[in-house]
Amino acid sequence: MPELLPLFLNVTGRQVVLVGGGRVAAAKLRQLLAVGARVRVIAPEISNDLEEVARPFQGRDRGAESPAPQLNLTYRPFAPSDLDDAWLVVAAATPEANREVAHAAEQRRLFVNAVDDPANASAYLSGVVRRDGVTIAISTSGDAPALTALLREAIERLLPHDLRIWMDAARRQRIIWRRERIPMDDRKPLLLDALNDLYAPTAEPAAHADNTFAHVPWLSAPEDSWL
């Protein structure tokens, strides 16, 4: 497996083609709709799971255009021309159909997420933790999705419940740092000082922010990766 480039995509309002109508496709559809993608689902038929996800976005009359442009269901097998207006492709059908979709996407230089088929995938939808403006993605390159889920749960438990306060403080500090041209090497300790100041008037220990991550050695990242 080649090394992957971690990347966050803004797909809001952009067309994503999802091939497949089963339970796994339903989970992918939920992810895509949640971030504002315009999704076209291509499948001869859809499962109850996918229908439930689609119901708030899609008219019930088969073959009708969606009253909301965010979702369209097309009830037929995949055709390569379905990708002509796509920004991203997700293949969640049979292995044979996924290979066909992956080949068509490759011909058009489109990234494709092929579910349970890393060899035919050029993109991977990661496990995601979202809280208070922070998004953390975890990937095992499609090789170990169960481990991805375990890591996601572990990170969710690690994050502080008052992360919104941390985010607001970091945003304010970044404005000051950029205005005053504070070097990158100085920003991490300054941020910890700012967070500790937030807790000083309370019963929280003064080193609250520092102690939260003190037992996590992999958070000792190079300073140039901070903010």
pLDDT in tens, 103-142: 999 999 999 999 888 888 999 888 888 888 888 888 887 7
Across 191-202, average pLDDT: 71
Higher pLDDT, 138 or 91: 91
Tokens describing residue 22:
């089963």
Q: What is the 3-state secondary structure (H, E, C) of 4-61?
A: CCCCCCCCCCCEEEEECCCHHHHHHHHHHHHCCCEEEEECCCCCHHHHHHHCCCCCCC
pLDDT at site 200: 60
First-last CA distance in the chain: 30
Tokens describing residue 70:
């965010």
DSSP character string of 98-162 = HHHHHHHHHHTT--EEETT-GGG-S--PPEEEEETTEEEEE--TTS-HHHHHHHHHHHHHHS-TT
Instruction: Read off φ and ψ for residue 151, nearest 5 degrees.
Output: -65, -40
**Residues facing 90 on adjacent strands:** 18, 113
Domain boundaries, the chain: 15-125, 163-225
**Residues facing 136 on adjacent strands:** 129
Q: What is the 3-state secondary structure (H, E, C) of 146-191?
A: HHHHHHHHHHHHHCCCCHHHHHHHHHHHHHHHHHHCCCHHHHHHHH
The alpha carbon torsion through 22, 26, 29, 34 (nearest 10 deg) reads 180
Nearest-angstrom CA–CA distance, 98 and 94: 6
Nearest-angstrom CA–CA distance, 38 and 158: 33
pLDDT at site 225: 43
pLDDT in tens, 163-180: 888 888 888 888 988 898
The CA-based angle 120-111-138, given to 5 degrees, is 80
Is a pLDDT exceeding 50 seen at residue 203?
A: no
Q: Which CATH number fits the domain 15-125, given the four candidates 3.30.56.10, 3.40.50.720, 3.40.640.10, 3.30.428.10?
A: 3.40.50.720
The DSSP bridge pattern shows strands 112-114 and 88-91 to be: parallel
pLDDT at site 164: 87
Nearest-angstrom CA–CA distance, 223 and 202: 29
Amino acid at 66: S
Is a pLDDT exceeding 80 seen at residue 214?
A: no
Whole-structure pTM value: 0.71
Higher pLDDT, 107 or 59: 107
Is a pLDDT exceeding 80 seen at residue 34?
A: yes
Query: Closest Cα partner for 89 from 97, 46, 68?
Result: 97
Query: What rounded mean pLDDT belongs to the chain?
Result: 82
pLDDT at site 87: 98
Higher pLDDT, 37 or 217: 37
Is a pLDDT exceeding 90 seen at residue 98?
A: yes
